[in-house]
Structures are given as C-alpha cells and as structure tokens.
Amino acid sequence: LAAPATVVYDGPGDDLWPTATPDGRWLAWARCPAGETAPCGLAVMGPSGGATALSSPDGPCDDRRPALWLAPDGTPALAAVRRPVAADGDLGAAQIVTLTRFGRATWSLAAETAPSAQPFCCVAAP
C-alpha cells in the first residue's frame, strides 16, 4: 500500500489471527487493544508495506479471524467475523463480512450476510 503506515489502535495491544495470500504479498490480521477494553479492528499490509486500518462503516465493531485470498483477477479480498458493538458495550449478532480492494489502497464493504451461526471455517473464497 502506498499510504504511510497506520494502526488500528495506539498503545498496547495484540495482533491476532494473521493471514496471508498464497503468494505472501498481502497480509491481514486483527488488531486488539490490551485488556479487551475496545473491539478488535482489522489491518492489512500490501506489497509495498505500510499497514492500513479498516474502519467499520456502521460504527464500532469487533472484527475477528480474518481470511485473505486473491480473486481470479488478482484482486485481494478479505473476510472476517464482525460483531457490532452497542453504546453499552454489548456485542450484537455475529455477521460474516467480505471486503474487496478497489484501487490502490481502498477497501470497500462488498457484501454482508444476515446474522450467521455458521463456523468461520465455512466462509468460501469466491
């Protein structure tokens, strides 16, 4: 990614569930603050370095267990288990979200399922 390196959260935290495309050029992981005081976000690093944080379009969300692959046209795509976080801190129903990269450094929410109970292992790459 051409953008300078950014992080999802400042301060102490854990980088969890790293995943990469088969060629190793794209990396993604969940960035979780220490102490579970805020939800996990997602970060992605492209071939030119620099980690880009992916913010939620619908408010605070807890994003976990990302999966990353290359679409047939070579475009990287990302899926994660997302749970919206209410103002009182309660987590909503789990959703599977899929994000696809458009352009140089923009990731867009491409599809979102209804609340899902399916295990994350069963999210299929397109």
Q: Is the pTM of this model over 0.85?
A: no
With a cut of 70, say whether residue 59 has pLDDT above it: no
Q: What's the pLDDT at 126? A: 37
Q: What's the pLDDT at 100? A: 64
Q: What's the pLDDT at 118? A: 38
Which residue, among 47, 22, 2, has the nearest Cα to 125 in the 3D structure?
A: 22
pLDDT in tens, 71-81: 777 778 787 77
CA distance 32 to 59: 16
Please give the DSSP secondary-structure letter assigned to residue 5.
P
Q: Within the chain, how many helices (H) and strands (E) appear?
A: 0, 8
Predicted confidence band of residue 4 (pLDDT cuts 50, 70, 90):
very low
Six-digit token pair at 111? 């599809």
Task: Give Cα 27 to chain centroid, integer Å.
Answer: 10
